[in-house]
Amino acid sequence: MEKEIFLVEGAGFCFGVKRAIDIAFDVAEKHKEGLFTLGPIIHNPQVVEKLRELGVNPLEDISDRLDIKTLIIRAHGIPKGKLEELKNYGFEIIDATCPFVKRAQKIAEKLALEDYQVIIIGDKNHPEVKGILSYAGEKAVVIKNSEEIPYINKKIGIIQQTTQPLSKVKEILNGIINSLSEFEEMRIFNTLCNFTSKRLEATEKVAKEVDMMIVIGGKNSANTNQLANLCRKIGVKTFHIEDAEEINSDWFRGVKKIGITAGASTPNWIISKIVDKIKCL
Ligand code: SF4
């Protein structure tokens, strides 16, 4: 049976991840030793391995490493206190935090300084959110539904984890607005990242048209899991894979239309390899 492949527009690296990786490869070219990233630069084992071959190693804990010359901060950013602590060590710090994440951090900081209680819509365990929260003052809270809002302050400022789905944010905001009488002032900033929402929308569109979706990206990548969950929710047969080796030809029996999408940490060369392999099945 002739297969048709539909590659989702915008699948793969987002602006912030591409920027962070370009920075890491650029640093690897210029410096030859003592290069580290704080945690893996992105949630993609193949890219992390490529960088490792060039001498850029991920570090979880810097405390006992005296050989650090340059430390790269990944796109998600890190908590304010941690950044200040790192600066005291004296090695070079290259901050590859995505400018969209930086913007959310700055808005959180400004709101806290102006005595707003900062409400962050997002996942409290995600590193990006932990970073933003550290700028948001003591009264800040992270919520994933409108019932979780504590009515401590009369003035609230609402921001979002950059990768939250717009539909979920709208639902939560509606819930908060229903409690308007509890507040004197409510400010809402849009800190969502267009790259993510556009990729989700484009994935949804393709997933509704095909017989099967292949979602490519790290198994520990939140935004790739978000794409896979979206496809499963739509009801289309979905496989989440990291590379071409995981492809099983049995999956494609009787399948005509195949959609392919990929998370923000998936390099184009992995996507192309998978597309080529599927074409040859
Ligand atoms: S998903 Fe958006 S906010 Fe996050 S790193 Fe990519 S471009 Fe930046």
The span from the CA of 97 to the CA of 270, in Å, is: 24
Residue ranges making up the domain that contains 211 = 4-12+195-280
Find residue 36's DSSP bridge partners: 57, 71
pTM assigned to the model: 0.85
> Last residue of some domain: 50, 73, 98?
98
Q: Are residues 104 and 92 in the same domain?
A: no
Q: Are residues 111 and 187 in the same domain?
A: yes
Q: Whose CA is nearest to atom 5 of ligand 1?
A: 16
Q: Are residues 128 and 202 in the same domain?
A: no
Q: Quickly state the pLDDT bin for 44 (edges 50, 70, 90).
A: confident
**What is the model's pLDDT at position 257?**
97
Kindly write down the DSSP assignment for every residue of 17-42, as one continuous string.
HHHHHHHHHHHHHH--SSEEEES-SS
**What is the model's pLDDT at position 2?**
81
Q: Are residues 64 and 41 in the same domain?
A: yes
Question: Mean pLDDT in the chain?
Answer: 92
Q: What is the pLDDT of residues 194-252, one digit of tens each?
A: 898 899 999 999 999 999 999 999 888 888 999 999 999 999 999 999 999 999 999 99
Q: Are residues 56 and 107 in the same domain?
A: no
- Closest ligand 1 atom to residue 98 Cα is 8
Q: Are residues 76 and 22 in the same domain?
A: yes
The single residue of 49, 53, 128, 185 carrying the catalytic annotation is: 128
Output the ligand 1 site: residues, CB below 6 A: 14-17, 75, 98, 100-101, 162-163, 193, 195-196, 264
**What is the model's pLDDT at position 60?**
84
Report the pLDDT averaged over residues 68-92: 93
**What is the model's pLDDT at position 158?**
97
CA-nearest of 166, 277, 164, 160 to 216 is 277
> Last residue of some domain: 150, 169, 192?
192
- Closest ligand 1 atom to residue 195 Cα is 2
Q: What is the pLDDT of residues 149-191, one digit of tens each?
A: 876 778 999 999 998 888 889 999 999 998 888 889 999 999 9
Q: Is the pLDDT of residue 112 over 70?
A: yes
Q: What is the pLDDT of residues 8-17, one digit of tens each?
A: 999 999 999 9
* Residue 185 a catalytic site member: no
Query: How many structural domains comprise the chain?
Result: 3
Name the most confidently modeled range: 1-15, 19-33, 106-120, 151-165: 106-120
> Last residue of some domain: 73, 98, 123?
98
**What is the model's pLDDT at position 32?**
74
Q: What is the pLDDT of residues 260-270, one digit of tens each?
A: 999 988 999 99
User: What 3-state class would DSSP assign to 70?
Assistant: strand
**What is the model's pLDDT at position 64?**
64
CATH code for the domain in which residue 162 is found: 3.40.1010.20
